[in-house]
Structure formats: structure tokens, C-alpha cells
């Protein structure tokens, strides 16, 4: 949406609601984004959120996680019609649904490690040792340049996530 169209829609909303310009503009932009205008955008009505399980994280780690924007209620996977959005503190990853080849329970042993770790295409995003789900991604996707990946783009062909509701997540990814 162009700047002129945003401005016109915000002024129209101001006249209808009596809101200040900044508030009207913010709401116009939010409504436009929720309508699916952006690439890979999903509206909140067709996306489901699955929380990351933080049950094995210590108090200090949870506090640090919360300071970086994560923690219970914030970290998780949003399953939309075209994209899976993985969020854990300052780690963000968008995976196209068309790239997900399979989603299944994982028997991977992750004892002693919690957080976001990766290498050689295999990544782990967990706050618990249980409820693990492994996604096989083909073609591989790449992490964006962000602090949690040291501003490097890394290949991801397998992603293991600890979730509160792993079976519900698998069903949602498989479209059931």
C-alpha cells in the first residue's frame, strides 16, 4: 500500500472515529497487514499458535529468555496457510509450508542443552527435553541475519522443536 493510500485511509478513519492521525494510521496499516497483503502474511484467523515447552528451563534462563522477548506465552510456532513462523527470544525463522516434507515426533537425545543451537543443517529450538517434533525441510531454508545467529545465514534442513502440544502441531502441519 502506497504512502498516499495509507494517508488517505488514515484521514478517512480519523473523520469516522475521531482518532488522532497517528492512531488511525497505525490501525490502517495493521488492518492492511492482517488482510494478507505482505509476502507470506497470514491473518490471525487462519493461523494457529503452538507454544514452546519451557518446563526444563531454570529460573535464570527463563529470566534471560524473557528479557530477549521470549519465554512462556511468547515463544512458539505459528502455523499459517503458507508459512510456519518459529519464534524463541531473539531467534526468528519463517519456513514456507511448501518446504516442509515431514513432521514427526523426535527421539533425538537433547539432554543437557536448552535454547537455540545448530550446525550442518540440523537445528534445535527447545526449552524442554520432551515434546520434541522434527521437521524435515526440503529445499532447505536459511536463517536471517540476526544476533542469535551471529549475523550469519545458516542452512536449515532439519529443525527439532520442543512443544507443549506436539501431536496437535503435527496434525496442523499435515493439514488434518
Which grid cell is 78?
A: 505459528
Which grid cell is 146?
A: 540476526
Query: Does residue 148 sit within a domain?
Result: yes
Q: Is the pLDDT of residue 44 over 60?
A: no
Query: Does residue 41 sit within a domain?
Result: no
Print the domain residue range for 18: 3-34
**Residue-wise pLDDT tens digits, 111-162:** 778 888 888 899 999 888 888 999 999 999 998 888 777 788 889 999 999 9
Q: Is the pLDDT of residue 42 over 70?
A: no
* Number of domains comprising the chain: 2
Q: Is the pLDDT of residue 39 over 50?
A: no
- Give the pLDDT confidence score for residue 43 in this predicted structure: 46
In terms of domains, do 112 and 144 share one? yes
Q: Strands 122-126 and 115-119, how do they pair?
A: antiparallel
Which residues pair with residue 135 across a beta bridge? 103, 159
In terms of domains, do 23 and 78 share one? no
- Burial (Cβ within 10 Å: 0-12, 13-18, ≥19) of residue 69: middle
In terms of domains, do 103 and 80 share one? yes
- Cα separation, 41 vs 132, in Å, equals 26
In terms of domains, do 63 and 120 share one? yes
- The secondary structure of residue 163, as a DSSP letter, is B
- Give the pLDDT confidence score for residue 35 in this predicted structure: 61
pTM score above 0.85:
no
**Residue-wise pLDDT tens digits, 48-91:** 899 898 887 777 776 777 766 666 767 889 999 899 999 988 88
- Name which of 136, 126, 124 is nearest 174 in CA terms: 136
Amino acid at each position: 500500500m502506497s504512502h498516499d493510500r495509507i494517508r488517505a485511509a488514515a484521514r478517512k478513519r480519523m473523520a469516522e472515529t475521531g482518532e488522532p492521525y497517528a492512531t488511525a494510521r497505525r490501525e490502517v496499516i495493521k488492518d492492511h497487514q492482517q488482510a494478507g497483503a505482505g509476502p507470506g502474511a497470514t491473518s490471525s484467523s487462519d493461523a494457529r499458535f503452538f507454544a514452546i515447552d519451557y518446563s526444563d528451563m531454570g529460573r535464570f534462563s527463563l529470566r534471560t529468555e524473557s528479557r530477549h522477548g521470549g519465554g512462556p506465552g511468547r515463544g512458539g510456532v505459528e502455523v499459517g496457510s503458507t508459512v510456519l513462523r518459529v519464534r524463541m527470544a531473539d531467534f526468528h525463522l519463517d519456513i514456507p509450508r511448501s518446504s516442509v516434507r515431514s513432521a514427526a515426533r523426535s527421539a533425538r537425545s537433547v539432554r543437557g542443552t536448552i535454547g537455540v543451537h545448530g550446525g550442518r543443517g540440523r537445528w534445535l529450538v527447545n526449552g524442554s527435553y520432551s515434546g520434541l517434533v522434527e521437521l524435515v525441510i526440503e529445499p532447505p531454508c536459511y536463517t536471517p541475519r540476526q544476533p542469535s545467529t551471529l549475523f550469519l545465514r545458516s542452512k536449515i534442513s532439519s529443525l527439532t522443536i520442543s512443544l507443549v502440544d506436539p501431536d496437535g502441531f503435527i496434525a496442523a502441519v499435515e493439514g488434518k
